[in-house]
Amino acid sequence: MIVVALLLVAACATTAVLVRDPVHQALVLAVLGTVLAVLFTVLQAPDVALSQLAVGSALTPLLMLLAVRKVKRPRRHKGDER
Amino acid sequence: MNRRTRLWLVAVGGAGLAALLVAACLELPDFGGDRHPYGDRAVHESLARHTANTIASVNFDQRALDTLGEISILFAAVVGCVVLLRQTRDEHRARPRPADVARPVRRYALAVLPVALLTGLYVIAHGQLSPGGGFQGGVAAATALHLLYLGADYRTLERIRPVGLYEVGDALAVSAYLVTGLACLIGAGSFLANTLLPYGTFNTLSSGGTVPLLNAAVGMEVACAVVVLLARFLDQAVEIVEENGT
């Protein structure tokens, strides 16, 4: 069980590094957060798992998506003008 | 200092750190064992103070000062975010249009919202009894509020979420933590010492002395902080531009 969870975490983390698009990265990060929460639960640390679930898989990706949205906007306007 | 000296300094420092880490790791208790010197002592202490959740006891009793540091960091981060993401002179505020939301999304979001909010509040309230606590519950409750953005639209969210009040709530909660600590200093002789209030009956909501109070303060602080943070980010992402939607 622990080994499976560890392997999943490693796979997700590698994917997060390899994916280049920030939006996809945010989504992969959310999945990574959930998998990490599973790992912590398996390791009998429900408190940490709850924090990880709340912050890692909901809050951080949400903030990242909002930031990406803000950063990308002017570029799109420039594209419209052209 | 030239490049070569700096590299040497980094190499020496890194090697020292690595050696110390390896030495420390060799002394660690075995992985997965059921005896742990620190764990045993922490559990003993928390049971002596009628706190069912040892983690809560470590966070809000044995290491309450560390938690004060953590909530101060969060508070400082929120203040910095509010200052950085304010509306500057060359930006204008565009009212986002009401958005059309697909009916299943709306139904699902509005059905889940109260459940998620209640779960968050439950986790805060039972921090000293079951896994979770102020931090986890606060984040959950604050994130739950934003389901309204998915289910309805940004204007509805703004109507039920006066950011100013949450900023005040954030500051109040940090002060509440400090005041509790000072009350302990005056009443019990040392800062944040959990000897002031009666410990109560084991495994009830009011057990654990000051633990539930500090836990509630942290819950309020985190919930307000997350709401303010998300509000600032949403402001930047949604309100300063024309379009709406997710």
3-state secondary structure A57-81: HHHHHHHHHHHHHHHHHHHHHHHHH
- How many distinct structural domains can be found in chain A? 1
Which chain A residue is nearest to residue B55, measuring alpha carbons?
A47
Burial label for B169, CB within 10 Å (0-12, 13-18, 19+), is middle
Contact A50 B131 (CB under 8 A): yes
User: Do A68 and A30 contact (CB within 8 A), yes or no?
Assistant: no
Contact B237 A69 (CB under 8 A): yes
Residue A74 is predicted with a pLDDT of: 60
Sequential DSSP letters for B27-38: TSPPTT-S--HH
Residue A38 is predicted with a pLDDT of: 92
Which chain A residue is nearest to residue B225, measuring alpha carbons?
A59
Q: How far is B123 from chain A (nearest CA, A)?
A: 10
User: Do A63 and B230 contact (CB within 8 A), yes or no?
Assistant: yes
Best B215, B241, B242 residue to mutate vs chain A (most A CBs within 10 Å)? B241
pLDDT digits (tens, 9 = 90+) for B64-99: 899 999 999 999 999 999 998 887 777 777 777 777
pLDDT digits (tens, 9 = 90+) for B94-148: 777 777 778 888 888 888 999 999 999 999 998 888 888 889 999 999 988 888 8
Task: From chain B, pick out residues whose CB is under 8 angstroms from the CB of A58.
Answer: 139, 143
**In angstroms, how far is CA B47 from the centroid of its own chain?**
25
Best B113, B136, B215 residue to mutate vs chain A (most A CBs within 10 Å)? B136
Which chain B residue is nearest to residue A64, measuring alpha carbons?
B233
Task: Judge whether A36 lies within some domain.
Answer: yes
What mean pLDDT is reported for chain B?
86
DSSP helix/strand/coil, B170:
helix
Best B226, B243, B246 residue to mutate vs chain A (most A CBs within 10 Å)? B226
User: Do B157 and B148 contact (CB within 8 A), yes or no?
Assistant: yes
User: At which residue do the structure tokens 């924090």 appear?
Assistant: A51
B133's torsion region: left (phi>0), alpha (psi -120 to 50) or beta?
left
Residue A32 is predicted with a pLDDT of: 93
Task: From chain A, pick out residues whose CB is under 8 angstroms from the CB of B133.
Answer: 47
Which chain A residue is nearest to residue B242, measuring alpha carbons?
A73
* CA-wise closest residue to B165 among B150, B188, B145: B145
pLDDT digits (tens, 9 = 90+) for A4-19: 999 999 999 999 889 8
Its sign, for the CA torsion B49, B55, B58, B64, is negative
Query: What does the alpha-carbon distance between residue B230 and residue B236 come to, in Å, rounded to a whole number?
Result: 10
Residue B246 is predicted with a pLDDT of: 42
First to last CA, chain A: 55
- Of the pLDDT bands very low, low, confident and very high (cuts 50, 70, 90), residue B241 is low
Contact B131 A55 (CB under 8 A): no
What is the complex's ipTM, to 2 decimals? 0.79
Give the range of the structural domain holding residue A9, as residue numbers without chain letter: 2-74
Phi and psi at residue A52, to the nearest 5°: -60, -40
Task: From chain B, pick out residues whose CB is under 8 angstroms from the CB of A40.
Answer: none
Q: How far is B8 from chain A (nearest CA, A)?
A: 30
Contact B226 A51 (CB under 8 A): no
Q: Is B129 on the interface with A (CB under 8 A)?
A: no
User: Do B60 and B67 contact (CB within 8 A), yes or no?
Assistant: yes
Helices and strands per DSSP (H, E), number in chain A: 4, 0
Its sign, for the CA torsion B45, B51, B53, B56, is negative
Give this prediction's pTM.
0.82
- Which residue ranges make up each domain of chain B? 3-239
Greater model confidence, B66 or B32: B66
Task: From chain A, pick out residues whose CB is under 8 angstroms from the CB of B55.
Answer: 47
Burial label for B226, CB within 10 Å (0-12, 13-18, 19+), is buried
